[in-house]
């Protein structure tokens, strides 16, 4: 038996033979589209925010590296008097910078966890849809 051509309203042709008709056939049609109309300024602001969110995902690496670089000498080094500073002064300097680096690491980690859902494309699209909905009702 030769394939049959089914009529279509918009000119699409679907060819089916007997093997295709065996069993259960489910055809899904999902052709809806959304169109966003926005200004260049709003698009730039949205993309800048999205870029900042993506950058914040990786900031913890450099902040963690700083913590590690200041913590490792405190754990393994034997500080000695050098120049005008005593061994305790050098240790205090390293503790101070370790505290600053730890504070930076914690703030970056908190920022990363708050922005984790914002790094998805769907979030950005939904945000643009919400911010740009028309307040005028169609007539």
The tens digit of pLDDT for each residue in 22-75 reads 777 677 677 777 777 778 888 888 888 888 888 888 888 999 999 999 999 888
Q: How many domains does the chain have?
A: 1
What own/partner pairs with CB < 8 Å and gap ≥ 24 does 129-138 have? 129/34, 129/36, 131/42, 131/46, 132/36, 132/37, 132/38, 132/42
Q: Per the structure block, which two tokens stand in for 134?
A: 């028309």
Distance (Å) of CA 71 to CA 80, 84, 85, 131: 17, 23, 20, 45
Task: Classify 44 as helix, strand or coil.
Answer: helix
Whether the predicted pLDDT of 132 surpasses 60: no
Domain membership of residue 28 (yes or no) is no
In a domain, 16, yes or no: no
Query: What digits encode the pLDDT tens for the residues 60-74?
Result: 899 999 999 999 988
> Is a pLDDT exceeding 60 seen at residue 1?
no
Is 104 domain-assigned? yes
pLDDT of amino acid 136: 47
Name, in order, each residue with C-beta under 8 angstroms of 45's C-beta and a sequence gap of 6 or more: none
CB atoms within 10 A of CB 2: 6
Least confident of 3-7, 25-29, 123-127: 3-7
Q: Is residue 21 part of a domain?
A: no
The C-alpha atoms of residue 47 and residue 64 are separated, in whole angstroms, by 27
Q: CA-to-CA distance for 67 and 78, rounded, in angstroms?
A: 19
Q: List the domain range (segments joined by +) for residue 66.
A: 61-131
Confidence band, pLDDT 50/70/90 cuts, at residue 127: confident
Q: Which residue has the higher pLDDT, 89 or 32?
A: 89
Taking every pair of Cα atoms in the chain, the longest distance, rounded to a whole number of angstroms, is 99
């Amino acid at each position: 038996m030769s394939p049959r051509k089914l009529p279509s309203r918009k000119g699409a042709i679907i060819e089916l033979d007997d093997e295709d008709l065996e069993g259960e056939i489910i055809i899904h049609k999902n052709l809806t589209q959304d169109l966003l109309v926005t200004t260049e300024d709003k698009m730039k602001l949205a993309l800048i925010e999205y870029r900042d969110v993506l950058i914040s995902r990786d900031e913890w690496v450099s902040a963690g590296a700083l913590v590690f670089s200041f913590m490792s000498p405190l754990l393994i080094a034997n500080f000695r008097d050098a120049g005008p500073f005593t061994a305790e002064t050098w240790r205090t300097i390293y503790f101070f910078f370790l505290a600053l680096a730890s504070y930076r690491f914690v703030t970056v980690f908190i920022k990363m966890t708050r922005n984790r859902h914002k790094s998805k494309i769907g979030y950005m699209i939904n945000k643009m849809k919400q911010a740009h909905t028309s307040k005028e009702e169609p007539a």
